[in-house]
Structure 1
Amino acid sequence: MSEDTHVITAEATDGVESSEPIVAADAAEEPADEATDAPRVSKREEALNNEGEIAADYLEELLDIADLDGDIDTFNEGGRAHVSIITDSDALVGKDGEVLDALQELARLAVMTETGHRSRLMLDVAGYRDRQRATLQDLAGDAIAEVQESGESVRLAPMNPYQRKIVHDAVAAAGLASESEGEEPNRRVVVLPKG
């Protein structure tokens, strides 16, 4: 492994827990290309851009087949490719995000088929994941306040790994600790008092 590569092992945030190491290139920008004065894109950034483009093309075809309207936006954040379908319809979200989760897995499979590598791509439709993140951060805030007031642990409702990661991050940002307990699909976050 080169000096510019770090190995990070973490709970997956995408609905599937994994103990596979995630290898991410150093975030430092490449030097500018002298001919264009534009910064060169790192190989990791280029790979993420490629993942986003493959997923966007795949999803565009699905939208055409289903005769659904929607614009597709791609960006990279947090070492992942993100694809958003901007639409007024919740048809591609489904109950509790079930259709969205299925579309995300299909998009990841399309990327893996094309690149030969597992993708951690995140898909959002109609802002569903953004709304879900805000709701979970509010829930975490309530649990943090309760723990600080009572000095007792607070157990939250069962969540998938993606949801638990959002809560764990909010708890850590507040200076408290949390842990996951239980077995899937009933695994939950427990917010712990300082101690």
Structure 2
Amino acid sequence: MTENSAHAAPQEETRRLEEEGEIAADYLEELLDIADIGGDIDIDVEHGRAAVEIVADQSDERALRRLVGAEGEVLDALQELTRLAVQAKTGERSRLMLDIAGFRAGRRAELAEVARAAIAEAKASGNEVALEPMNPFERKVVHDVVAEAGLTSDSEGVEPNRHVVVRPA
């Protein structure tokens, strides 16, 4: 493999993910127009997937919160619809992540704290620690924090009761 072809694959993947983000942004802009909600759309590529966020100034923030739902359930549904819209255009399954008004970013910080507390408990007690049920996004955040700390974790159970178990080293 030449040096140029080694660099072509990551660049091609980044281009594909940016295209996913553009398709998602177009879909979401139409949705915001229909709902008469103001907001800007930021597109990025993070952790090998397209990341799209709808952001707004304070006057539109309250309306965006309705698109999140009490515990993110509306956001999860919109993410799935957006993934389907991308798949309809590209013919390929999307792993796009959608955030609205910083909900997932805030939730990620909360979950990191939950994970750190479980890590401390597992280290101190030598026992595994089972956490409350979480959706796939939440479990992934916890697994990542646990792995960074050098411990192991697994998801157990069946939706909607699937949860993370943190195991001592």
TM over 0.5: yes
Q: Provide the residue aligned with 1:37 in structure 2.
A: none
1:117-172 Cα distance to aligned partner (Å, 9 max, x none)? 11111100000000111011000000111111111111100111221111111111
- 1:150 aligned to 2:119? no
Flag structure 2 segments of 5+ consecutive residues without an equivalent: none
Runs of 4+ residues over 2 Å off in structure 1: none
Provide the C-alpha distance between the structure 2 equivalents of 1:178 and 1:110, rounded to a whole number of angstroms.
33
Provide the C-alpha distance between the structure 2 equivalents of 1:189 and 1:56, rounded to a whole number of angstroms.
32
Correspondent of 2:27 among 33, 42, 58: 58
Identity %: 60
5 Å-filtered alignment, 1:64-103, equals 64-87=33-56, 88-89=61-62, 90-103=65-78
Q: Provide the residue aligned with 1:134 in structure 2.
A: 109
Alpha-carbon RMSD across the aligned residues, in angstroms, is: 1.9
For 2:38, give the aligned amino acid: D
Name the count of aligned residue pairs: 161
Provide the C-alpha distance between the structure 1 equivalents of 2:151 and 2:11, rounded to a whole number of angstroms.
35
Flag structure 1 segments of 5+ consecutive residues without an equivalent: 5-25, 31-40
Provide the C-alpha distance between the structure 2 equivalents of 1:161 and 1:62, rounded to a whole number of angstroms.
25
For 1:102, give the aligned amino acid: A
Correspondent of 1:176 among 135, 151, 156: 151
For 1:62, give the aligned amino acid: L
Once the 2 structures are TM-superposed, how far is the Cα of residue 29 of structure 1 from its aligned partner? 4.0
Give TM-score scaled by structure 1 length: 0.77
Higher helix share: 2
Provide the C-alpha distance between the structure 2 equivalents of 1:168 and 1:67, rounded to a whole number of angstroms.
38
